[in-house]
Amino acid sequence: MKFLEKYKESGKFFFRANDNLTEVCSAPRNKAGIYIIFAIKKGERRLVYIGQSGRVKKDGELFIRQDGIKGRIVRGKRNGRPRKEFWLEEIYNQELEALEFNWFVTHSEQFVDCPLELERILISDYKPIWNRK
């Protein structure tokens, strides 16, 4: 995932079973981009999920959801229920130490890269186990 180094506005945070996701999430509320989740177990990292927030419209303009990347992580849904519930279940079921979230803003004054397209490419290349087939 070396090409992600292009995105200078980025960060990471850890989510553990006893954490409040809203409080630990450092992703921006006013930007579009992608996020990549690693499961941490016995000190080892394994890629488990790739997600996105925002898209480029047909006219080339960037659409940023109202609450940005943070909102997608904190309030996003999976099968009609909060995604954070799914993540907590996986932490417990797989006896994980934590989830490591890495987020990347995919637009700047120099470029506008479509988060949806980046997500598709990354899922195709890395096939994370929590992404749907």
In a domain, 85, yes or no: yes
In a domain, 117, yes or no: yes
Strands 77-78 and 81-82, by their bridges, are: antiparallel
In a domain, 86, yes or no: yes
Paired strand residues for 11: 103
pLDDT digits (tens, 9 = 90+) for 59-96: 888 888 889 999 999 998 888 889 889 999 999 999 99
What is the pTM (predicted TM-score) of this model? 0.94
SS3 content of the chain, % helix, strand, coil (to 5): 30, 30, 40
116: Cβ contacts below 8 Å, ≥ 6 apart? 52, 54, 55, 56
In a domain, 1, yes or no: no
Residue 21 sits in which domain range? Answer: 11-126
Statement: residue 133 has pLDDT above 80: no
In a domain, 131, yes or no: no
Give the integer Cα–Cα distance in Å for 32 and 107: 7
Q: Give the number of domains in the chain.
A: 1
In a domain, 5, yes or no: no
pLDDT digits (tens, 9 = 90+) for 82-131: 988 999 999 999 999 999 999 999 998 888 899 999 999 999 999 999 99
Q: Is the model more confident about 59 or about 38? A: 38
In a domain, 6, yes or no: no
